[in-house]
Structure 1
Amino acid sequence: MKKENIININLIKRLFVFVVGLIIMSFGVSFSVKADIGVSPISCVPYIYSVYFPLTIGEFTILLNVLFMGIQIAILRKKYNPFQLVQLPAIIVFGYCIDGTMFLVESLIPSNYIEQLILCLISCAALAFGILLVVKSRLTYLPLEGLVVVISKTFKKEFGKVKISMDTLMVILGVISSFVFLNHLVGIREGSIIAALSIGAMIKYFSTNLPFIENWLADEVTKESDVEDISDKYNNTFVITISREYGSGGHEIGKYIAKELGVAFYDKELIDLTSQKTGYTHEYIQENEQKLTNSLLYDLYEQNFNYVNDELPPKDVLFLIQSKIIRDICEKESCVIVGRCANFILKDHPNCINVFIHANNEYRKDKINKIYKVKSPFGDNDLKDSDEKRANYCMHFAKKDWRDATNYHITLDSSLYGSKVSAKKVIEFIKERKI
């Protein structure tokens, strides 16, 4: 089939998926209204105004989104891409679909709170699946998400923080409007909180577990270009990855192994390479790599990025760039790499030995306080905090338990031998493997 025909068919597919997504989203909005325990942050303002004024929720949704488009144009001015005007027919269709689905579910009246809660969850699932289809169609952003993208790029602000700010602003406007026009709170309740916390997670779940959507939308040209033969990529190199507890001596053990084997060593060197690739400062990279304070909170924050394509949380960007750097290095040369979930990144490498270095707390504290010379004395709670951050990082990006011995070929307690002897034992193991 000719490339032009493939592109035309693919465009029709994307338009179909986009429209279906809008229809499903409109059912989600209508279900949330009928549940009557609060609507999503983006829908609360149109809903409240529709209760007081003679326009429908769908019509107010159109007006609000036209306002978002106007703000985009005002910010970008001459830089505004006229193609984004396609948002206008999209939101008109979406608005009238909401009114249509409101008519279809008019007789749907939950008889108790449990039914209201179930309907609220169904509305969240419908909104999430509809948003997923709109996002996967890659035709355009919905105006609110488009405005968030414009603000974040124009004013160099983090997308996730802008998205949270906009959702919060919608809720604040909803609360103010509710009391001004209706004298009591309407449309914002526990259902609004459920929607705010769950829709992003549901989008991610659907995206992960329903890959056929993306596969169906991918044209044949893209599919062919995505095929990569990795069978011979690493055949001429070997790599040793060192995962380690802070203070266990993993850095010096890895450096000694690299020296004895006559191969390159990468630890802090990866910070330099990442800085060159991204423009991030060394301080920023050191602060954000290899640790995650709270996995649950980060997952909640990360949900905001599921509403659009091509926007990733900064820590994810950092991880992906470092992953590419590590793979590129290992294609070209044999080496020892410390940290950065390298054992997961290189899971397809046929000549990779994964090592985990640990030690007892007294050994670690002694090394950290006397050799690393930290500013304030490092205690047991500090060790626990450091371990949790590294475990969270590994679980988030590798979906693996950092301390699970099955993730490694060899684990070693360095407090039994010291760094130099520990390194020699790893080298003996490597030579026995005949890499």
Structure 2
Amino acid sequence: MKKKQLIISVGREFGSGGHEIAQGLADHYGLTMYDHDLLKEIAAKKNLNGDELTAYDEVKWNRFLYRTVRGLNSSPEQNVANLQFEYLREKAKAGDSFVVVGRCSETILREYKCLVSIFVGGDISKKAERVMKYYNMTEKEAREFMKEKDKRRKQYHNRYCEIAWGDSRNYDLSINSSRLGIDGTIQTLIQYIDARIAIM
């Protein structure tokens, strides 16, 4: 029997462990995971400079600096975003299964019934602990870093999506990773995803 297509989209607050959770899900289901390395794959495929593309990854587009003429946009930020959206749509259309972190994937791939969209949040104190440990920061530095990172993610997401970043209506499931920890959250999500797979 042909294996069902499965696409898992993971949005996340900075410090919530969302990336680690996404990797855990990818490992469990044996799927490729697309995150910030996605641009390297696109660059190789299209013979572009990956480092130059990465500089504009998940960055808010400034409409006052660029303009659109005949459907073509001069904003490198928007062009890089569109490259990623197009790549993910091609993968989904081809029937590929994968996990994707961010990239507005819960919105751009919404038409696919095999999509399971998740948003991972967490308690500020727990997120700050993770950031302090990982980046060797003080609590004040960690909280400011988290605030800035989430601000950028929100601005980027809201530029391309009708429903706001983090709004529970935009996802199948929103979960607080601080309650069960990373491993517990992964196991809980696996139960949910397995239930979804059964009815796909």
What is the rounded CA distance, in whole Å, between the counterparts of 2:69 and 2:40 in structure 1?
A: 32
Number of residue pairs matched?
Answer: 192
Indicate yes or no: 2:98 matched with 1:329: no
Distance in 1 of aligned mates of 2:120 and 2:19: 10
Q: 1:243 to 1:402 in 2, by over 3 A?
A: same
Relative CO higher for 1 or 2, CA cutoff 8 Å, sep ≥ 6? 2
Give the distance between the partners of 1:270 and 1:360, measured in 2 at CA.
29
Is residue 281 of structure 1 aligned with residue 44 of structure 2? Answer: no
For the residues of structure 2 that align with 1:309 and 1:432, how far apart are their CA atoms?
Answer: 41
- Asked if the contact 2:73/2:79 (under 8 Å) is kept, the reply is no
State the structure with more CA Rg.
Answer: 1
Percent identity among equivalent residues? Answer: 22
Of the three residues 25, 28, 31, the one matched with 1:260 is: 28
Shift, 1:260, TM fit: 1.3
The answer as to whether partners of 1:273 and 1:325 remain within 8 angstroms in 2 is: no
- SS of equivalent residue, structure 1 residue 337: strand
Q: Are the aligned partners of 1:248 and 1:364 in contact in 2 as well (CA < 8 Å)?
A: yes
Q: Deviations over 1:117-158 (max 9, x none)?
A: xxxxxxxxxxxxxxxxxxxxxxxxxxxxxxxxxxxxxxxxxx
Q: What is the RMSD computed on CA atoms of the aligned residues?
A: 2.1
Q: Which has the higher helix share?
A: 1
1:301 aligns with 2:62: no
Task: Report 1:228-239 matches (<5 A).
Answer: 237-239=5-7
- Structure 1, unmatched stretches of 5+, are 1-234
The answer as to whether partners of 1:289 and 1:340 remain within 8 angstroms in 2 is no
Listed one character per residue, the Cα deviations across residues 16-53 of structure 1 (whole Å, up to 9, x for unaligned) are: xxxxxxxxxxxxxxxxxxxxxxxxxxxxxxxxxxxxxx
Alignment of 1:410 with 2:173, yes or no, is yes
Query: What is the rounded CA distance, in whole Å, between the counterparts of 1:260 and 1:336 in structure 2?
Result: 11
Query: 2: CA distance between counterparts of 1:245 and 1:311?
Result: 29
- Aligned pairs for 1:105-116 within 5 A: none
The Cα of 1:347 is off from its aligned counterpart by: 1.4
Cα distance in 2 for partners of 1:365, 1:407 equals: 25
Corresponding residue number in structure 1 for 2:151? 388
- 1:358 is displaced (CA, Å) by 0.6
Cα separation, partners in 2 of 1:424 and 1:300, compared to 1, 3 Å: same
After superposition, give the CA deviation of every residue in 1:288-327 in whole Å (9 maximum; x if it has no partner): 22232xx6xx12223xx23555343101110111111112
- Distance in 2 between the 1:244 and 1:278 partners? 30
